[in-house]
Amino acid sequence: MTATRAHTSEAPSGAPRSSAPGVLDFARRNGVLLALAATIVLFSALRPEIFPTLDNVETMLRQLAPLAIAAFGLTVVLVMNDFDLSLGAMIGLGGTTAIVLMSNTGMSFVLAIVLALGVGVLVGLANGFAVAWAGASSFVITLAMGTILQGVEYQISNQQPVFQNIPESYKELANASLFGLSSQVYVALGIFVVLFVLLERAEIGRYMYAIGGNIEAARLSGIRVRELRVLGFVITALCSTVAGILLSSQAGQSSPDVGIPYLLPVFAAVFLGSTAIKVGKFNILGTLVGALFLQVISTGLILLELKPAIVNIVQGGILAGAVLLARLDRANARG
């Protein structure tokens, strides 16, 4: 019989377990990063003449930018435990608004972009007020909002591609490059830095995580819960609008149904990201990793000339796997 409370040295179960964690724990904590590294190595080995080239890296980063931008925005609402399912439609409407304004009125591209961003802010405010003030479920409200936005996009574009009278300067925005990298990458980087500082360094970010952790405790601590939730929806809608503008600028036109296909990959990137860096928490750096991972997989699989069906199955499988891994991690932590 042990007389007093025993400390670390004596705990029998501690000893055998403590040798393994070094490696295992590292693997679990950095699973997504390791998988990302492994896939890069794998694809580089399988397609050494294409995959590990500067050209391909440039292409991947450019393709990745709009998705990453929308995913950065989505991270902010998810941190507060809200959903935004309208972001796919917002990506479409963002680009179409700018294009249609320029095409129909001959408006300058700067003003068109400002107005499109203004529409994004309004949509974010509408989502935010419905959720934070009226108490609606963000899941349902943003689903409805997405349907509305899609209807609006169809209405203003007649559900046709719009490409007449688009100023060259608008098309150049997303097609320009600097130091060999697309301008889109710099926009994404800029938004990343801003949101990283906001979520990880600023008071507001701490408050947002508090809201996500326990909304009532946050309110009783004097945090402006409703205002911050609205802010989150505005940021998400703005990021989606930017993504939409970049896509339409790159194509030099708007086409219906450009945005909706982004909805699921954007969510996938953020959820994948929540299993990286700060495991179990939505975090902006993780979102970046998640988006990179998705891009590497899809580019790599296409380079391997696999059928799109296989690409979908592999991407979906990876997301499910990563989320399950993160769950396991937490279940283990609980004991």
Q: Which residues bind other proteins (CB under 8 A)?
A: 1-2, 4-8, 10-14, 17-18, 197, 201-204, 206-207, 209-210, 212-214, 216-224, 281, 335
CA distances from 71 to 10, 42, 160, 180, 312 (A): 47, 26, 27, 24, 19
Q: Which is nearer to other proteins, 176 or 201 (CB)?
A: 201
| Residue type present at position 320 | A
| 60 half-sphere exposure, CB direction, 13 A CA radius | 22
Q: Which is nearer to other proteins, 1 or 134 (CB)?
A: 1
Q: Which is nearer to other proteins, 99 or 279 (CB)?
A: 279
Smallest distance from other proteins to CB 21, Å: 11
Tokens in use for 167?
Answer: 């100023």
Smallest distance from other proteins to CB 37, Å: 28
Q: Which is nearer to other proteins, 2 or 155 (CB)?
A: 2
Look-up of token digits 């995913």? 71
Q: Which is nearer to other proteins, 8 or 155 (CB)?
A: 8
Smallest distance from other proteins to CB 163, Å: 44
Smallest distance from other proteins to CB 192, Å: 17
Q: Which is nearer to other proteins, 17 or 104 (CB)?
A: 17
Helix axes 183-196, 284-303, angle to 10 degrees: 150
DSSP code string of 36-99: HHHHHHHHHHHSTTTTTSHHHHHHHHHHHHHHHHHHHHHHHHHHTT---TTHHHHHHHHHHHHH
Chain centre distance of CA 88: 11
> What is the phi-psi region of residue 238: left when phi exceeds 0, alpha when psi lies from -120 to 50, beta otherwise?
alpha
Closest CA to 301 of 263, 268, 309, 272: 309
Tokens in use for 135?
Answer: 């108490």
Smallest distance from other proteins to CB 205, Å: 9
Smallest distance from other proteins to CB 314, Å: 32
Is the separation of the CB atoms in 264 and 108 below 8 Å? no
Smallest distance from other proteins to CB 204, Å: 7
Smallest distance from other proteins to CB 13, Å: 6
CA angle 97, 199, 224 (to 5 degrees): 85
Q: Which is nearer to other proteins, 143 or 215 (CB)?
A: 215
Q: Which is nearer to other proteins, 306 or 333 (CB)?
A: 333
Classify 258 as helix, strand or coil: coil
